[in-house]
């Protein structure tokens, strides 16, 4: 039986590291201190420091930072296009476009 989804070689720890580095880089490029970004975003400066150092933040706070840095449109584009790895998967996606509920898949 073929796999329904093939996952890329990405994990949440590595992704959090990349995102934290990018937020810090964009903040510094704009000449913003953590305190200044905190004022713009509403995210406390210690939370920004924790994110940059320990890669830990809530999704809402991450979105607030991204929007304050001017990247809200790019964030909104995440997952906006269908991704597939085979014609079989694309056909399954097309069949499921109007589904309102998922199903349990045990493999």
pTM of the model: 0.75
Contact 49, 23 (CB under 8 A): no
Rounded Cα distance, 11 and 7, in Å: 10
Average pLDDT of the segment spanning 90-104 = 78
Q: How far apart are the first and last CA of the chain?
A: 9
The predicted-structure confidence for 16-66, as pLDDT tens digits, reads as follows 999 999 999 999 999 999 999 999 999 999 999 999 999 999 999 999 999
- Of 95, 101, 100, residue with least CA distance to 4: 95
- How confident is residue 94, by pLDDT bands cut at 50, 70 and 90? confident
- Token digits of residue 105: 């898949």
Q: What is the pLDDT of residue 8?
A: 63
């Amino acid at each position: 039986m073929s796999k329904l989804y093939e996952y890329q070689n990405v994990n949440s720890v590595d992704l959090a590291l990349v995102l934290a580095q990018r937020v810090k880089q964009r903040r510094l490029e704009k000449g913003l201190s953590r305190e200044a970004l905190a004022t713009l975003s509403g995210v406390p400066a210690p939370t920004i420091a924790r994110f940059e150092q320990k890669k830990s933040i809530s999704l809402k706070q991450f979105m607030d930072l991204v929007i304050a840095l001017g990247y809200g449109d790019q964030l909104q584009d995440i997952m906006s296009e269908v991704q597939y790895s085979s014609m079989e998967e694309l056909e399954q996606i097309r069949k499921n476009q109007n589904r309102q509920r998922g199903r349990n898949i045990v493999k």
